[in-house]
Amino acid sequence: MSKFAFPPADPVSLPIIGMDARFPVRRIYCVGKNYADHVKEMGEDVKRSEPVFFTKAAETIVHSDSNIPYPPNTKDVHYEVELVVAIGPDGIYAYGVGIDLTRRDLQALAKSKGGPWARAKNFHYSAPCSALTPAGRIHLETAKIVLRKNGEIVQHGCLSHMIWSVDEIISRLKTDMDLQAGDLIYTGTPAGVGPAKIGDELSGGIEGLERITVRFI
């Protein structure tokens, strides 16, 4: 066993429905601009749109039913509900529902300067994710995806409207980056993204999967 200069952080993990064992999270990949209606609402050209890949640290995971301290250095935190694909030793292992929290004001600043999105996307508590449902017999191709803010539907779409399918995203990540067991992929959001403030409850759902619910405090 290795000797460490100080105690390493505990591994990040997610519960798996129907199992005692937990899913050990390695890395988080995110796909941007993967639903035409969202590309349009961001004021961009759907035809010329290529998906964008970015990453979040595993430590940004937030479990369902958690309280999230409103993030620093922003006045415009946005929610983006997304299908999360969990990769295991033999390909797709499980699915979950995630919320890709974004400091939209910092993202606009980064876009205007051609700078990286790290501060806009990869901050503490920025990746809420539900418990995972084993892939097994689930078919999500035409499942509906919804986000409720304080009980009211603010985002709704259908997974069949993804510009790049889950298989295409996986094959691109495998060749362009590196995809290993433990990796999570946030696959992009449909239209309806918007701000959350202190006191708001966000609850994301996809037919057949566990919900993700978080509150800003």
The residues that touch Mn ion, with contacts defined as CB under 5 A, are: 80, 100, 189
Shortest approach of Mn ion to residue 9 CB, angstroms? Answer: 25
Shortest approach of Mn ion to residue 89 CB, angstroms? Answer: 26
Shortest approach of Mn ion to residue 36 CB, angstroms? Answer: 14
Shortest approach of Mn ion to residue 217 CB, angstroms? Answer: 23
| 107 vs 213, beta carbon nearer Mn ion | 107
Question: Residue 57 in contact with residue 216, Cβ under 8 Å?
Answer: no
Residue 112: Cβ-neighbour burial (10 angstroms; 0-12, 13-18, 19+): exposed
Residue least distant from Mn ion (Cβ)? 100
Question: Residue 122 in contact with residue 104, Cβ under 8 Å?
Answer: no
| 55 vs 66, beta carbon nearer Mn ion | 55
Terminal C-alpha separation, the chain: 40
Question: Residue 107 in contact with residue 76, Cβ under 8 Å?
Answer: no
| 23 vs 79, beta carbon nearer Mn ion | 79
| 17 vs 109, beta carbon nearer Mn ion | 109
| 31 vs 94, beta carbon nearer Mn ion | 31
CA distance 47 to 83: 23
| 16 vs 206, beta carbon nearer Mn ion | 206
